[in-house]
A and B are shown apart, each in its own frame.
Chain A
Amino acid sequence: MASRALAVWQNRQVVNLLVRRELKVKYQKSILGYAWSLLDPLAQAAIYFFVFGVLFNARVAPGGEDAPGGYALFLLSGILPWMWMSTALNDASRALITHAKLITTMKVPREIFPLAVVQTKFIEYLLTWPVLLLFVIVLGGQTGWTLLWLPVAIAVQFVFTLGITLFLASLNVLLRDVQRIVRILNRVLFYSSPIIYPMFQVMESERIPGWFKTLYEMNPLVGIFQMHHAVWFPTEQPTQFILWSTVAGALIMFVIGYLTFRRLETAVLKEL
């Protein structure tokens, strides 16, 4: 595994190239370009704000209505990183297939293609930060030491997303159903993580049995998004249990993804 990691590192220039090309193609082909990667999450955030914040009049921002930033900031700080994950999952299943020609003519560490997908989406996520900051200023969001949660959240999310991407990319070459499953998976993951609702609503609900709450806490995405929220809402800082189960979950996902990828490699190469 160490030698493979080294090979990937030696090809980092190629990964950068793939990423840059992907972004270039995306932004060149459409008129709005960069604006598209903002419009999508903003539209989503607006919809959820309208439905939950206005229609249901839910006092859902953690720390009550008067929390700096309010529900709008809460939504955005969850949806923007979510877009990173969900778009990466969407592209994951095609990561190897789109580069089939390259892969079947040249010996490169095949891992770089899933890696490039995750990295591309990560950069798109970084590009949404100016907008988030704009909202922070307008809505009066506050942060402090909790800003330190951000790099942790990003690191864990990167490892987790890369794990899933490796897994899906290799599996999809052999089983094209994966592409469809991903769409459902995407939606399930979205609602099973505290992205548009604060976590305490699950934890304090009396209609949800205790074992389910524990299971819920163990979902690595819960920790990841709690950390993203915690940057602006200190009450959302994950507990020790959530933090470690998230880190462990991300690492396990990565190992599973990587092993699957290696295991299927022989078959994948024949199939491409």
Chain B
Amino acid sequence: MAEPVIEAKGLGVKFAMNRRRRLSLREMFIHGSKRDPNKGGDFWPLRNVSFEVAKGDCVGIVGKNGTGKSTLLKLIAGVLIPDEGEVTVRGKIAPLLELRAGFSDDLTGRENVNLVGSLHGMTPKMLEEKFQEIVDFAELRSGYIDMPVRHYSSGMKVRLGFALISQLQHPIMLVDEVLAVGDKAFRRKCYDTIEKMLENDRTMVLVSHNEGDLKRFCNRGLYIKDGSLVADTDITSALAAYNADTQAEIEARKKKSGGDGKAA
């Protein structure tokens, strides 16, 4: 078997619990270590996660909100550095994380496409050639491309982001919840693009809550629960495990509220 494209070994990330957004110098010096505002201890949104993704795979990541799915994607993308373990990625990555391609609000759509495109290694010539295609794909109304991205609707941002990222010829694509935002027509277009890309033996990692999307594209599923990987199988079983857990949880909650009701 060929070398896996993505290889994660014992991945773990820790965040400080109760971390105040901004630690100020005063707290650091005056309170010293005794009253450390971060003494809440460490919290591991993700730990001991190991898996391999082969070339041409489409992997769907499922799990509840806040269980570390997006964190995992960020680790693969290399925009977070793991505190434990390592992730090896063989090949360039086209990331679409948290519904955005890294556009900055102050710049116009055109500038953003140029900036992000060249950050991804597109040459000016390539950008020029592809530019119209990107804009057409994103279905931006005329004139919008020269307006700051700040004025875009969230759908427009995602469309432009997807249009740009899908033009990249990178072998690996990371997609986080993007398909949830576009309207029906755009979603269909995305589906076609993704299918075309998968046919070209590209690798994709997808985070989504939409079972239909997942079942349609993915041949593998990773189910993440409370920061650890509990299932690494085909997508149907992963979804089944996820659904079973959700069902159990709902029932437990029902029972609990029922019990409270009786006691009161």
Residue ranges of A at the interface with B (Cβ–Cβ < 8 Å): 11, 13-14, 17-18, 21, 25, 98-99, 101-108, 174-177, 265-266, 269-271
Q: Contact: A102 with B102, CB < 8 Å? A: yes
| Known contacts A176-B24, A270-B15, then 15 further A-B pairs from the complex at CB < 8 Å, ordered by chain A residue | A14-B115, A21-B111, A98-B104, A102-B104, A105-B79, A105-B102, A106-B77, A106-B95, A106-B102, A107-B77, A176-B22, A177-B25, A266-B81, A269-B79, A270-B13
- State how many angstroms separate the Cβ of A156 from the closest Cβ of chain B: 30
- State how many angstroms separate the Cβ of B84 from the closest Cβ of chain A: 11
Bound CA span A108–B102, Å: 11
A104's partner among B15, B97, B119 (CB-CB below 8 A) is B97
- State how many angstroms separate the Cβ of B158 from the closest Cβ of chain A: 13
In this complex, the member of B28, B100, B102 whose beta carbon has the largest number of chain A beta carbons within 10 angstroms is B102
Interface string of B71-102 (1 = CB under 8 A from A): 00010011111010000000001011110111
**A-contacting residues, B92-140, CB 8 Å:** 93, 95-98, 100-107, 111, 114-116, 118-120
Given known contacts A21-B115, A101-B100, A175-B25, is B95 in contact with A269 (CB within 8 Å)?
no
- State how many angstroms separate the Cβ of A7 from the closest Cβ of chain B: 11
Bound CA span A266–B15, Å: 11
B114's partner among A17, A99, A106, A271 (CB-CB below 8 A) is A17
Which secondary structure dominates chain A's binding surface? helix
Given known contacts A101-B103, A266-B81, A270-B80, is B23 in contact with A106 (CB within 8 Å)?
no
Bound CA span A11–B115, Å: 12
What are 17 pairs between A and B in contact, CB < 8 Å? Answer: A13-B118, A14-B119, A17-B118, A21-B115, A25-B106, A101-B102, A101-B105, A102-B104, A102-B119, A106-B116, A107-B78, A108-B119, A175-B22, A175-B24, A176-B24, A266-B81, A271-B21
- State how many angstroms separate the Cβ of A82 from the closest Cβ of chain B: 27
Counting from the closest, the 8 A-B pairs by CB-CB distance are A107-B78, A105-B102, A177-B25, A266-B81, A102-B102, A105-B97, A176-B22, A106-B102
Residue of B nearest to A177 (CB): B25
Q: Contact: B118 with A14, CB < 8 Å? A: yes
Q: Contact: A174 with B79, CB < 8 Å? A: no
Residue of A nearest to B104 (CB): A101
Interface string of B196-226 (1 = CB under 8 A from A): 0000000000000000000000000000000
